[in-house]
Amino acid sequence: MESGPITNTADLIHTDDLFARIKWLEQELNYRCTDEYSEELKALKSLARNVENITSEHTYQRSAELIRDGYLPEYRKGLDEAARGNAKFSSVDFDGVTYWLRH
């Protein structure tokens, strides 16, 4: 089943969606090669590498969230007080846009 494109304009990106989209694009490119899919795959693989570079087994969960920098204040408002105090974030670049990986 096709998942929608993931771009650096999204406020939230779930890492499980990111990895599913990468897998789908790789499979699609086996059958038909398009510049659009190739460019998206290249950008998403770069983002995945950036996520993996700042995480460890202890800090990364497969269903983590990536929050766009401009959306982070709004995102934090939606957390309850305990989660707000315990939330840890690391910055990740996605094609020139800063996202925050919530640990």
Q: Give the helix/strand (H/E) hosting 12.
A: strand 12-14
> Which carries the bigger pLDDT value, residue 83 or residue 103?
83
Residue whose C-alpha is closest to residue 16's, from 6, 8, 27, 26: 6
Report field, pTM of the whole predicted structure over 0.85:
no
Q: Average pLDDT of the chain? A: 87
Average pLDDT (36-53) is 92
Report the pLDDT value the prediction gives residue 57, as an integer from 0 to 100: 52
pLDDT band with cut points at 50, 70 and 90 for residue 97: very high
Report the pLDDT value the prediction gives residue 1, as an integer from 0 to 100.
46
Phi-psi region of 102 (alpha: psi -120 to 50; beta: other; left: phi over 0): beta
Q: 64: pLDDT confidence band, cut at 50, 70 and 90? A: confident
Residue identified by tokens 């096709």 is 2
Q: Quick check: 54 pLDDT over 70?
A: yes
Return the pLDDT at 65.
92
